[in-house]
Structure formats: C-alpha cells, structure tokens
Structure 1
Amino acid sequence: MSVLGPVPDAVDELICSARGCRATATWGLLWNNPKLHTPERRKVWLACDDHREPLSQFLGVRDFLRDVVPASTLEQVDAS
C-alpha cells in the first residue's frame, strides 16, 4: 500500500495545544521542521477558534506551517 502524500500524526484528545488552554480543538495545524523531520512527516498542533491564528503565526514565521485542517478530520489514537 502506498501513501499518496503527507499523513498527519494521530492525536490523543482534541484539546487546544495553546499553553493553559483546555478548550476543545476545532483545528489541526499540520507542521514540519525540515531540519528534524522527513518531508512527508506532519506533526500536529491542535487549536481552538481563539488560538488558531496565534499558533498559526508562530509556526508560520518559522516556515513550519504546512496546512490547517478541521480537527474532526484527524485520526485519533485508539485508547483501547
């Protein structure tokens, strides 16, 4: 089976990644640090509506941000 493109890492629970925020995440910020990760790797930060822009800007100024997707489309880790 071949993968057609980058696949985001699976996430545990949909909680915003912003420091101190415990809101439900509605966005997945897909990023990659080319100095550390292979080109197809997509790490995920989760963001609520209030933190989507600040977290996107943080990743964007470092040229790490690759895509922003609805959190509901991300694969979740099976807790069982």
Structure 2
Amino acid sequence: MSLFDFAAGSDMPSESAALCSRKACRSEASWQLLWNNPKIHAPERRKTWLACAEHRVWLEDYLQTRGLWKETLPLQSDAVPLEQDI
C-alpha cells in the first residue's frame, strides 16, 4: 500500500470497524482479550484489547507473561466492546 492508497482510503477497514490493538496494526479485529492488572484494578474489572487473527497469540502471550490475561472471546460483529485499551 502506498501513501496515496492510504490517503484515498483504499484497502482500509471502515471507520466503524474494530481494529487490532497491536501497535501499527490496522487490521480488523476478530478477538477480544480480556485482562486486568491486579495491582491497580478490582478483581472483577475487565479491560479489553482487540486482536486480529495474526496478532491474537502475540497479544495473549504478552498479557499472560505479565499475569494480566483473563480470557479470550470471539468478537461478534454486532457487539461493540465496552472499553478498548491500546
């Protein structure tokens, strides 16, 4: 994709599409990774990162390594996540 393609908006997800939380990834998300930091969040709180198929494993591993990951769920096309953290 060239700079001109980007400016024209071709090959880009729609503005309302949920995008992957991986840095510099602009792919449409298909997964929700639920997590919390027990040092600063109440146990029942769930923060959400979104992941495309390509970055799901990387993001899960990142959260699991730090003891933050709680659950991964499919992102339903008609559902909008309550909170997206990047």
Output the TM-score relative to the length of structure 1.
0.75
Q: CA deviation at 1:75?
A: 3.8
Output the TM-score relative to the length of structure 2.
0.70
Unpaired segments of 5 or more residues in structure 2?
A: 1-15
| SS in structure 1 at match of 2:76 | helix
Instruction: Say which structure, 1 or 2, has more relative contact order (CA 8 Å, 6+ apart).
Output: 1
Q: Deviations over 1:53-77 (max 9, x none)?
A: 0000000001100000011175446
Q: Counterparts in 2 of 1:34-49, with a 5 A limit? A: 34-49=38-53
Following TM superposition, where does structure 1 have runs of at least 4 consecutive aligned residues deviating by more than 4 angstroms? Answer: none
Percent of aligned pairs with the same residue? 44
Rg (Cα) greater in structure = 2
Pairwise CA RMSD: 1.9
Match of 2:61 in 1: 57
